[in-house]
């Protein structure tokens, strides 16, 4: 499931991150990928262990924790530290088609995080740059994503994807991975759609015995399928 989550960051938070990134140190993005990824990656990243990067990551993580749509879709068990990257037009920076690694080092026990879901959080408005589309390829075709600042796209980490060359301006984003309580994307999608239907029915019709039954099934399926 590929999902657009609007308004993860508000305008003030976007401005704060943009201001910090303008004065940030940048390193070669190839430092954080394997041999295959390094052959197709041409961008820069803020150093993950820099105090400013850790502080910015905290802002993004706090925003995700308060976002009900994100929780419903991801059912996150562990969230990796958000990172920050930059693609400039000067060198037609881009990231060719690749697939994210299955596991990443994580500072919580057991020390590794399975990457079930990937996310890109946009920090620039679409009109600020040309190119730089996140392109996700799956069984339903090719999807090009370029969202307003503060919006995020969530997609399975199993997807082959790329970032097209930036031909004007600069593209700033935060990107991250998470391990879900529900490993299987199909089951996770079913739970998300059921939860959204329950919330819509509750808002439209109020409480009822039928709604209670649906809610019961949702939580029982979550118990049955979750890996906690």
**What are the residue ranges spanned by the domains of the chain?**
3-180, 185-225
pTM: 0.95
Query: What is the reported pLDDT for 109?
Result: 63
| pLDDT, tens only, 48-59 | 999 999 999 999
| pLDDT, tens only, 118-141 | 999 999 999 999 999 999 998 889
Spatial neighbors of 183 by CB under 8 A, at least 6 apart, are: 114, 116, 227
- Measured in residues, the chain has a length of 228
| Cα–Cα distance for residue pair 120/44, rounded to 1 Å | 15
Tokens matching residue 126: 């679409």
| Cα–Cα distance for residue pair 192/176, rounded to 1 Å | 20
| CATH class (in words) of the domain with range 185-225 | few secondary structures
| Cα–Cα distance for residue pair 39/82, rounded to 1 Å | 23
User: What spatial distance separates the first Cα and last Cα of the chain, rounded to whole Å?
Assistant: 22
Average confidence (pLDDT) over 142-157: 97
Average confidence (pLDDT) over 156-185: 97
| Cα–Cα distance for residue pair 173/132, rounded to 1 Å | 10
Tokens matching residue 20: 């910090």
Query: What is the reported pLDDT for 200?
Result: 97
| CATH class (in words) of the domain with range 3-180 | mainly beta
For residue 32, what pLDDT band results from cuts at 50, 70 and 90? confident
């Amino acid at each position: 499931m590929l999902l657009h989550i609007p308004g993860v960051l508000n305008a003030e938070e976007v401005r704060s991150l943009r201001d910090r990134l303008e004065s940030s140190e940048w390193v070669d993005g190839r430092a954080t990928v394997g041999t295959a990824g390094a052959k197709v990656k041409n961008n820069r990243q803020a150093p993950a262990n820099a105090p400013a990067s850790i502080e910015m990551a905290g802002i993004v993580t706090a925003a995700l924790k308060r976002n009900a749509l994100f929780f419903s879709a991801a059912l996150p068990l562990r969230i990796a530290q958000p990172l920050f990257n930059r693609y400039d037009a000067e060198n037609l920076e881009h990231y060719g088609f690749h697939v994210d690694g299955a596991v990443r080092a994580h500072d919580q026990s057991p020390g590794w995080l399975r990457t079930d879901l990937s996310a890109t959080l946009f920090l620039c408005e679409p009109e600020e740059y040309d190119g730089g589309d996140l392109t996700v390829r799956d069984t339903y075709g090719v999807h090009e994503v370029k969202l307003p600042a503060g919006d995020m796209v969530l997609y399975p980490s199993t997807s082959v994807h790329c970032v097209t060359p930036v031909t004007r301006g600069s593209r700033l984003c935060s990107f991250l991975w998470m391990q879900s309580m529900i490993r299987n994307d199909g089951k996770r999608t079913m739970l998300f759609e059921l939860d959204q239907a329950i919330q819509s029915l509750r808002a439209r019709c109020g409480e009822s015995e039928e709604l209670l039954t649906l809610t019961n099934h949702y939580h029982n399926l979550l118990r049955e399928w979750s890996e906690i």
